[in-house]
Structures are given as structure tokens and as C-alpha cells.
Amino acid sequence: MLYDFASWYRKWKFSEGDRVDLVLIGPPGSGKGTQAAKLSKHYGICHLSTGDMLRAIIASGSELGLKVKKITESGGLVSDDIVCDLIAQKIDSPECEKGLLFDGFPRTIEQAKKLDKLLSDRHIQLSAALELKADPSLLENRICGRLFHLSSGRSYHELFNPPEVPMVDDITGDRLVRRSDDKPEALKKRLYEYEKNAAPALSFYKSQNKLMQVDANNDVNQVFSDIQGKIRKVTL
């Protein structure tokens, strides 16, 4: 009975207006996108995926969208300032009143500091930075079977989440594609770059006592449960 009351109280306390603001950090294949979607739905918080935001601004056909499209089509990297402007617009929207969940940003110490200022300017304090850790061999299995629907960003996996028809998007019927960098050799380079860039950002959050590690080797539901446990620690 005591446990049931505690569980009810946590849900009541959160629903009464407390917010949670999180950063998900992890290498390719660690499950950031999957967990972000589950967390966003469960807690009613705003899922901020930089990839989704860039696709949306390109699809809008706005002046900024055309600029971003030109950068990406030429193989360039969209500047931190542009990404931060997009994030700021989302943060200030009514849909993000209950909290924020950053997926894919920050990736570097510079981005972490920019995000820190964005939040502090709005009197928002980050609840936690959750680092998803997984073995390289597992990451390779997860990454190398991925399939994507380019226009929507929907993803599948040949083994873990296959489309109903091989290589075809379930919703539109469009052809799915496999990213050129979703190959073992390319993945090794991506993991190296991740470790090089993420280490300073992780140290930044550790210095703020915000960093929490999550074992992402487990199945999706177990990882989700573990993350919920971390969130309870920072919201109670």
C-alpha cells in the first residue's frame, strides 16, 4: 500500500505542473530516438530532435528552409547558431510547457554551453543529461540493419523492426533506403567522432552534477524503465 501511494504521488506531483527537462546523449545505435519517443509520450514533454526540426524547416519552403536545404545538399554542416534559433522557437512554443527532451543535441561542448545559455535565459534548469551506453558490437548490429523513409524520417530495422513489405515504407509505400554510413567501417569512424566530441560535453554535465548513465545494452522496455528511475530521482 505504501508503494502504491508513493507511485500515485509521483504521478500526481508531476501532473500538477512540475516539468522535466532532459538531454539524451549516446552513440549511433544506442536507442536515443526510440527512448525519446517513449519518454515524450509518457510524460507529455516536447521531443526536440534536431534532425526532425531541420527536415521541417526545409519542407516549409521558408527563406531559412531554403538556406538550410542548400547547406545540407552541398554536404555542409548546419551552423550551431541556426540550430539554436530553431530550438529557441520550439522552446518558446506552448507545446513545450511541460518540459523538453533533447535528442541529437548537444553533440559537442560548444553546443552544450549554447544550450545551457538558451535554457538559463528562460529560467529553465536542466533536470538531467542521460548518457546511453552500449557495447560497440551491439551498436553495429543495430546500425547496420537500419532502413529509412527519407521524407518523414521514419526508421525500420531488418531484424528488430522490419517493414510489412521488405524495403517499403508502411505508410506511404515509398522505397526505403539504407544510409551509406550505416556500414561497419563507416560506423567505426562515426563512433570515433562521437567519443571525441561527446567526452567534453559529458564532462561539462558531470561538473554540473547532471550526468546520469543508463545501460542501453538491455531491451527497449528495460532501458525505458531504467530511465524512468533516473527521472524519479531528479523530480522528487
Predicted pLDDT of residue 16: 40
Average pLDDT over residues 150-165: 90
Integer Cα distance of 107 and 127 in angstroms: 18
CA distance 158 to 183: 14
Please provide the distance, in angstroms rounded to a whole number, between the alpha carbons at the two ends of the chain: 19
Write out pLDDT tens, residues 187-203.
888 899 999 999 999 99
CA pair distance 141, 143, nearest whole angstrom: 6
Share of the chain above pLDDT 70, in %: 93
What does the alpha-carbon distance between residue 6 and residue 136 come to, in Å, rounded to a whole number? 38
pLDDT of residue 6: 41
**Per-residue pLDDT for 124 more than 90?**
yes
Q: What is the pLDDT of residue 179?
A: 83
Per DSSP, 177 falls in state B
Cross-strand bridge partners of residue 155:
148
Query: Distance between CA 54 and CA 58 in Å, rounded?
Result: 6
For 108, other C-beta atoms within 10 Å of its C-beta total 17
Lowest mean pLDDT among 22-31, 107-116, 150-159: 150-159
Catalogue all structural domains in the chain, each as residue range(s) with its CATH number: 30-144+183-235 (3.40.50.300)
Q: Could you give the residue numbers annotated as active site? A: 32, 107, 146, 179, 190
